[in-house]
Amino acid sequence: MTALRCLRKANILPRQKVLIYGASGAVGSCAVQLAKHHFEADVIGVCSAANVELVKSLGADRVVDYTREDFTHRGETYDVIFDAVGKLSAEHGKKALKPDGIYLNVHKDSGNGEKLADLLALKDIIDTGKFKPVIDHGYSLEQIVEAHRYVDTGHKKGNVVIRVWAPPV
Ligand SMILES: NC(=O)c1ccc[n+]([C@@H]2O[C@H](COP(=O)([O-])OP(=O)(O)OC[C@H]3O[C@@H](n4cnc5c(N)ncnc54)[C@H](OP(=O)(O)O)[C@@H]3O)[C@@H](O)[C@H]2O)c1
């Protein structure tokens, strides 16, 4: 829902060039899929080498490994740049925006509060079969400290899941 709310702000048209920075994280992996399959954009994902295949599998048309290449130095410009992980300097990222391009940041553009209408919109998208959550690890509630430690590394792939209830055996 965070990714959907951010991307909607840009009124993305089919085939527009949308760059997702931090494409392998929770928000990023959702943003890649929504930009590609819902907004029908030309999607460029930015992630590290270890996540290139994952991001491609989510629908990115092209992937830039941020450990080897600065996407602002490619001579390419984008209609939308979405910093989905909040680790890109806006001043730097905006260098690769088209003159009328839109820059989005997960911290500034995800809006306030979750809305039922957004949840239902997402359900409709999931029902098309074109959107799949990326789950890295699952933890039980008793492992919550370990789960937080892992999330705090800043390098999870997609999401982690906490099981708060397990059926009795
Ligand atoms: N998750 C949510 O539902 C949610 C909702 C609202 C707001 N937020 C906020 O949105 C931000 C992102 O959350 P998140 O849960 O999506 O993050 P996350 O899943 O923890 O992000 C981890 C991913 O970011 C990538 N990454 C780390 N450093 C990077 C860098 N310098 N450049 C590019 N990619 C980098 C990592 O890939 P590598 O290992 O390849 O570096 C990893 O796959 C956070 O500030 C969070 O508080 C999240």
Question: Stretch 130-153: mean pLDDT, rounded?
Answer: 96
165 against 25, higher pLDDT? 25
Q: Which atom of ligand 1 has the smallest separation from the CA of 46?
A: 33
Q: How much distance in Å is there from the Cα of 81 to the middle of ligand 1?
A: 15
Ligand 1, atom 22, residue with closest C-alpha: 25
Q: How much distance in Å is there from the Cα of 10 to the middle of ligand 1?
A: 20
- pTM recorded for the entire structure: 0.95
Q: Which atom of ligand 1 has the smallest separation from the CA of 49?
A: 40
CB atoms within 10 A of CB 16: 20
pLDDT tens-digit series, residues 34-59: 999 999 999 999 999 999 999 999 99
- Rounded to an integer, what distance in angstroms lies between the CA atom of residue 1 and that of residue 102? 19
Q: How much distance in Å is there from the Cα of 63 to the middle of ligand 1?
A: 17
pLDDT tens-digit series, residues 97-107: 999 999 999 99
